[in-house]
Structure 1
Amino acid sequence: MDTFTLILCVLAAVVLSSFLSRFLPKISTPLVQIALGVLATYLPFFPDTELDPELFMVLFIAPLLYLEAHEIDKSALFKSLKISLSLAIGLAIATMVAVGFTVHTFWPAIPLAAAFALGAALGPTDAVAVSSLGKEAALTQRQLSVLKGESLFNDASGIVGFQFSILAAVTGVFSFGEAAGEFVVSFIGGTLFGLAVGLVVNWLFETIRSLGWETTTTRILMELFLPFLLYLAAEDIAHVSGILAVVACGLLIRFDHTGIGPNVARTNIVSSSVWAVLSFSLNGAVFILLGMLLPDAMSRSWEDPGVSNPMLISVILLVALVVIAMRFLWVAAVLRVTKDQRTGRRRRMTPERWRSAAVMTFGGPKGTITLSLMLTIPFFTAADDLFPMRDELIFIASGVIIVTLLLANFLLPLIAPNRGTDDSHEITEITIDVLRRTVEELTQRITPENRRAVLMVIDSYTKRITRLKQRIGGVDPHGFEQLQIDALYWEKDFIKERLAALRAQPSPDDHERDLGIEACERMLDQIMD
């Protein structure tokens, strides 16, 4: 019963946060949700919360990363893939090393291996927080693509580095070769596993659709189960990175962009609505839980008389400074060595490019992955001794999470103010006009021979125009959805009239008449399903 009560309370807090965010426009929704989570821990009817990191990964992170990978702009991602992978792997490893040596030097009571574990946990950025940054600040499409790409791939490097650091701290033994090999197997194996599953799923869904077996219920249920089953299969059966498998599969999935017809369109509408509700609920629940876990995670160290509170605050600020400085220097170096796509030459660091480096620095806050990893630190070592400074490490990680989220919320809008003067709006409008003219030209070239093929091409262009309009706010999603529903009703009325005419009028060819009636009845079944 306590679990059910907790679920209801978390969902209620998510709903409340959506209302509060309207009245607090300067504070990002994740921070509002974290604050609600902290307040919830002091309410008497809120049950105690204990996070199972493995359950957290499969229940929250897997579906959110799948959806993020599926909806990301693929062309923009691949254009910035080198930079994203550099941040996801190179910067994550560099951060682990820098934080490890800094913490161990400043506070020798923390073993070097444990300090490396802290640095590894602080490597991954929070994909959920990154996805909301574009609403708070004027980030360019390239900056968003780099940040989202990094958040999709850096979990694996952080998790593998953390696991080997903890293993070294617990056993006192560390093998660099074994750690490197494990990372390569986990990274490449997870990617290949996700791609293979993506190919199979595309074929399966398209085959089911071609056979006429697809219904709205089965399609949505199968799609919702996919990221959960994929993550569990990758981790427990293939023993590779479940996170990367989910991301790779999400990037490859395309079955919802194929096929035409009212049934497919209606199913896509319902699927989008279901995923939108699920995404907002899971996003909110992640930060509500983060807020609920922070007080307990930090109070044990803060209230420990044997630990200096000024020392804790100093280490938090020092680690946050190291993480931010490492990220800024790494991003600036990558921008400096990256060649221009048009000229093929490296560009000098202008003030605008330094500002871009600062934007991508503060646009990578830490979050739930970091805290969930830190909470998996064991209580005892292999020698049955208490794990050294466990509570203090969790306290430091929690403090850095808060610092980076606050900087992303308040400093990022100052560096990249959202004034609504982005040229991408005008570029998008020009693109829409070109696509619309293309549709008009295609419509004029329809013949009985090419009608089906041309209509499929026109349908794809129409979907592109709709997505672009939604991006610039040119389409009211509720109005558009209502129009599509009205169109289904119009189609239903037309088919009913056609069916009545076929039944009322005698035909010289009874077989053709029966086929027409059967086709109309099937179409009505699909619409009414």
Structure 2
Amino acid sequence: MQIVTLCLFLLLAVVISGMASRMLPSALPRPLVQIALGALIGMVAHVRVELDPELFFLLLVPPLLFLDGWRIPKDELVRDRGAVLGLALGLVFLTVLGMGVFIHWLIPTMPLGVAFALAAVVSPTDPIAVSAVAQKAPIPKRMMHILEGEALLNDASGLVCVRFAIAAVLTGSFSLGEATLTFAWMALAGVAIGVGVTWAIVASKAAFARRFGDETGSNILVSLLIPFAAYLAAEHVHASGVLAAAAAGIAMTFTGATSGVAAGTRIRRRAVWDMLQFTLNGVIFVLLGEQLPEVFVRARDTVTATGHVSPWWLAIYVFAVVLGLAVLRYGWVWVSMQLTLLRARRHDDAAVSPPRRIIAAMSAAGARGAITLAGALTLPLTLNDGTPFPARDLVIFLASGVILSSLVIAAVALPLLLRGLNLPPDEGIAAARDRARLVSAKAAIAELDRVQHQMAEGRDDPDRFTDIAARLMDQYRERIDSLATLPEDRTGQADAPIERDMRLAAVRAERNAIFDLARRREIGVTLAEQLGRELDLIDARLSRQGLA
């Protein structure tokens, strides 16, 4: 009963934090408000949540990574794959090695393996935290796409490095060759399992629905279970459950487009996942704040045991770690952009160097968040011999300090760096959108021609169906001429059911045509999903009219 009450209390705290973040005149980012509220709960209510690291990781991380993979713009990820992979893999490994050695030098009493674990914990960035702090200074789309892709992949690479560091601490040994083979197995098997589990579940559900019918609640529940199925299946064979969850989300984009799920179900499913994302991230930040007072006390004791007396050494440690992370990130981004510029100038003499503010903004946007805390809390409580895990509370405190500092830095620096900065817009988006609307309108006309003959067959008044179809075709031809949106209904009461059925068939043909273009790589997946959502709303409205 106590755990249920505590969960409800945490959910209430998330709701209150969301309301408070909108009421505050300073427009503080929601994560900072949630952390402050959690700290207040911990100090006033003396609430202490004892978290099982494995359970905490299982419940919170897979759905968040799955959703990141599901919603990240795929075409932008492919277009900027060089920058994304550099940040997500190269920068993570550099951070783990460089910061691990630096932290061990800074805190000699912290074992080297634990220092590497801390470096791995603070290496992943959090796009949700970045978007929260950038509300007053919207991040340019291409820059945000790179940050999202980085966060998706470095979540996986960072947490895999955490696993290796923990294993080294528990066993007392580390082999580079064995680690390389293990990493390859964990990565390849994790991705394969994530894609395979998603495809198998979605295909099985679609086959069952075609034969026996389907319902909205069942489809939504299946989507909620997929990340956990992928994660547990991968962990069972000692692969990366983190990569499996992320790969499952990416695969969901493509399998979901062909699964035959009703438009109303897709709309409700998006709403459920929006709520889940808000809740899980909120709970993590509230838990972070709730644990800060107790973690501070224990970390202070750890610092005292190292020979220092003043608790201000904790602030010095946090400042040094944040500064080290900032220097590494700025240096990596600068070098990456210089190399990119060098390659571009080989093909285009007019290529110009990006403003230094962009480099600084990319560095300041590396805010840490939910995944960093989740990784810190997964450190085991004890070693194999039963002794306490060395410096665990200090690691959690330093990781918490990095989260807070990075959020504050991003909240203050990003609006200043991005103010008045004009970047060239993405080219080709408008043309691709027009092409998609053109192709979908032609598909709708073809479907209307087919449906009118099918509906009029054997009827006494076939001209009635022909007239309705002709009127709808004219509307789509008007769209082709002007690329206008679908006009409002212009039909009599008696013909309304017929026109509704024809419109519904045409809208579904449009959606199929748009996703056919995406599958043939003629338009981007992101654009297809945007247009698909518009058509889903029309589909849902027409379907409700048919049930009324």
Same fold (TM over 0.5): yes
Offset of residue 115 of structure 1: 1.7
What residue in structure 1 maps to residue 238 of structure 2? 239
State whether residues 35 and 288 of structure 2, in contact with CA within 8 Å, keep that contact through their aligned partners in structure 1: yes
TM-score by length of 2: 0.77
What residue in structure 2 maps to residue 503 of structure 1? none
Change (3 A) 1:37 1:350: farther
Q: Does 1:488 align with 2:543?
A: yes
**How does 1:219-238 map onto structure 2 within 5 Å?**
219-235=219-235, 237-238=236-237
TM-score by length of 1: 0.80
Offset of residue 460 of structure 1: 4.4
State whether residues 130 and 151 of structure 1, in contact with CA within 8 Å, keep that contact through their aligned partners in structure 2: no
Question: How many aligned positions are there?
Answer: 483
Q: 1:124-167 CA deviation, whole Å, 9 max, x = no partner?
A: 22354245455443222222222111211223322332233333
Question: What RMSD, in angstroms, separates the aligned Cα atoms of the two structures?
Answer: 3.7
Tell me the amino acid that sits aligned with residue 328 of structure 1. Y
CA distance in 2, matches of 1:264, 1:188: 33
Change (3 A) 1:133 1:85: farther
State whether residues 124 and 154 of structure 1, in contact with CA within 8 Å, keep that contact through their aligned partners in structure 2: yes
Offset of residue 355 of structure 1: 2.4
What residue in structure 2 maps to residue 279 of structure 1? 277
What residue in structure 2 maps to residue 360 of structure 1? 362
- Select 2:291's aligned residue among 287, 290, 293: 293
CA distance in 2, matches of 1:68, 1:418: 29
Q: 1:448-501 CA deviation, whole Å, 9 max, x = no partner?
A: 459899764413468999x879979xx9x9xx96x76653342125xxxxxxxx
What residue in structure 2 maps to residue 250 of structure 1? 249
State whether residues 38 and 287 of structure 2, in contact with CA within 8 Å, keep that contact through their aligned partners in structure 1: yes
State whether residues 336 and 348 of structure 1, in contact with CA within 8 Å, keep that contact through their aligned partners in structure 2: no
What residue in structure 1 maps to residue 510 of structure 2? 458
The DSSP-based 3-state class of the residue aligned with 1:338 is: helix
What residue in structure 2 maps to residue 498 of structure 1? none
Q: 1:63-108 CA deviation, whole Å, 9 max, x = no partner?
A: 1211121112111111122322222222111111111222222332
Q: Does 1:338 align with 2:340?
A: yes
State whether residues 295 and 394 of structure 2, in contact with CA within 8 Å, keep that contact through their aligned partners in structure 1: no
Q: 1:318-376 CA deviation, whole Å, 9 max, x = no partner?
A: 11111111111112222222369987648999663432222222222222333333344
- Select 1:371's aligned residue among 365, 370, 373: 373
What residue in structure 2 maps to residue 269 of structure 1? 267
Tell me the amino acid that sits aligned with residue 83 of structure 1. A
CA distance in 1, matches of 2:204, 2:145: 30
State whether residues 110 and 389 of structure 1, in contact with CA within 8 Å, keep that contact through their aligned partners in structure 2: yes
The DSSP-based 3-state class of the residue aligned with 2:138 is: coil
Q: Does 1:139 align with 2:139?
A: yes
Tell me the amino acid that sits aligned with residue 29 of structure 1. R
CA distance in 2, matches of 1:376, 1:220: 29
Change (3 A) 1:373 1:293: same
What residue in structure 2 maps to residue 32 of structure 1? 33
Offset of residue 428 of structure 1: 6.1
State whether residues 160 and 240 of structure 2, in contact with CA within 8 Å, keep that contact through their aligned partners in structure 1: no
The DSSP-based 3-state class of the residue aligned with 2:367 is: coil
State whether residues 138 and 422 of structure 1, in contact with CA within 8 Å, keep that contact through their aligned partners in structure 2: no
Identity %: 33
CA distance in 1, matches of 2:450, 2:40: 66
CA distance in 2, matches of 1:222, 1:404: 36
**How does 1:17-96 map onto structure 2 within 5 Å?**
17-24=17-24, 26-44=27-45, 47-96=47-96
Offset of residue 242 of structure 1: 0.8
Tell me the amino acid that sits aligned with residue 392 of structure 1. L
The DSSP-based 3-state class of the residue aligned with 2:354 is: helix
What residue in structure 2 maps to residue 329 of structure 1? 331
CA distance in 2, matches of 1:426, 1:492: 43
CA distance in 2, matches of 1:131, 1:120: 23
State whether residues 88 and 150 of structure 2, in contact with CA within 8 Å, keep that contact through their aligned partners in structure 1: yes
Change (3 A) 1:96 1:487: same
CA distance in 2, matches of 1:282, 1:404: 20
What residue in structure 2 maps to residue 106 of structure 1? 106
Change (3 A) 1:266 1:357: same
CA distance in 2, matches of 1:233, 1:240: 9
Q: 1:199-234 CA deviation, whole Å, 9 max, x = no partner?
A: 223322332333252211221111111112221121
Change (3 A) 1:58 1:127: farther
Change (3 A) 1:425 1:378: closer
Tell me the amino acid that sits aligned with residue 36 of structure 1. L
The DSSP-based 3-state class of the residue aligned with 1:352 is: coil
CA distance in 2, matches of 1:162, 1:138: 32
